[in-house]
Amino acid sequence: MSTLLVKNGLLVTLNEHGEVIENGSVYVEDARIMEVGHFHENRYKADQVLDAGGRLVMPGLINAHHHLYSTFACGFSPPGQPAENFKEILEHLWWKLDFALTEEDVYYSALLPLVDCVKHGVTTIIDHHASPSCRDGSLDLIEKAVREVGINASLCYEVSDRNVEGGGVEENERFIRKCAAAADDQVTALFGLHASMTLGAKTLERCAAIGRAHGAGFHVHVAEDLIDQEVAQKEFGKRCMERFRDAGMTGPRSIFVHGVHLDDGELDILAETHSIHVHNPESNMNNAVGTARLARLWKRGILTGLGTDGMASNMIASARAAYLLQRHLEHDPRVAFGECCDMLLKNNRTICERLFKNKRGVLAAGALADLAIFDYTPFTPLSGANFYGHLLFGLYQSRVSATVARGRVLMKDGVLPHLDEAALRHKAKDLAAKMWKRIK
């Protein structure tokens, strides 16, 4: 049994009472928090002690929609004329980039953003992967990277018909079986799909049948751009969410990402089926696809989480972007402040409760020992009642000094001692340069 004591911290517990504890401590055994509060450090003889030095300690953060494979796009300019719309962004950039990935690229392009997650206090991600040229076994490569870095992840492969019919179906089914047999809560599986516009009727029906047979939830992009709705209505006579509902893919463990162009009837489908929606504000702005009017989802009680869509791993910055964007969109300074913080700190952990066995996202006895220590000493009073103000206007620009996942100290003083980050970055730079040359 390994033990850890985090002491002398400003504990933002995020428990049901919103409790904030000054000069508090957290005692951990293996991957589980055993006690939170005020107790003498000599009460436990821990293998390792972290002195927070009065810094803010909070639960590890969660990214509800990531694309690790997008890493090597940083700095890359696709050949040809700049994309004029979302369809061209996919065709000119992402579908060329993911097709060029090799097995080594998949592995290293996962390692680097996972390291970045640790550096931003993110301890759980829900990832969505695509690599058509090395599809089979690709989720094992990402799992290997996840375990080496040390955080938690739910993984899936992005099925579509754009390269071959049903590309990725077998990879999803194999990995779902593997995770079920392992019964290891560090890495779990969903059944991934790209979007309605790249899924024919045969493929959609096949994915639905296999997913249901294994009791798996689905992870799919929906109505990110209007073209998704246009194709669905032209080819299938239905809107996107109608297709997924009729195929039997909706439900409490299924994640529908973006939803920028869902109408009221489709939002009702999400609500009635208790399905999950994940908002990705920075990505939506970057792709110029529009913005989901989140008030329509909140009004219906739809569980709405927060992701980055591979743009970054800084979840507090993403929450701030969501908050600012919704106020700009609604022209109303009264909206989105609490709701966007809730998306990150409450809704993302509720999503994880549906996908993982272990409770997380709270400093409480029995919860998973995932913690982030921020180099942030409040310069104004901080309490449970005003923490969101500190989150969006103070903490968002603060460095994470230490990250703990599953009771293991992954980073201390900004350094990940179990990884040679310089060597990883050097290798990734070399691989990315070679990959760029393969893209025509």
pTM comes to 0.97
**Model confidence pLDDT, tens digit, residues 276-330:** 999 999 999 999 999 999 999 999 999 999 999 999 999 999 999 999 999 999 9
CA distances from 206 to 165, 175, 179, 391 (A): 11, 16, 20, 44
**Model confidence pLDDT, tens digit, residues 57-115:** 999 999 999 999 999 999 999 988 999 999 999 999 999 999 999 999 999 999 999 99
189 vs 192: CA distance, rounded Å = 9
Comma-separated ranges of CATH 3.20.20.140 domains in the chain:
61-355
For residue 41, the model assigns a pLDDT of 75
Comma-separated ranges of CATH 2.30.40.10 domains in the chain:
3-60+361-412
CATH match of 61-355 with 3.20.20.140: yes
For residue 183, the model assigns a pLDDT of 81
- Average pLDDT of the chain is 97
Structure token pair of residue 402: 């230490």
Query: Could you tell me the sign of the dihedral formed by the alpha carbons of 66, 71, 74, 77, in that order?
Result: negative
CATH match of 3-60+361-412 with 2.30.40.10: yes
**Does residue 18 sit in helix, strand or coil?**
coil
Torsion of CA 127, 132, 135, 138, to 10 degrees: -40
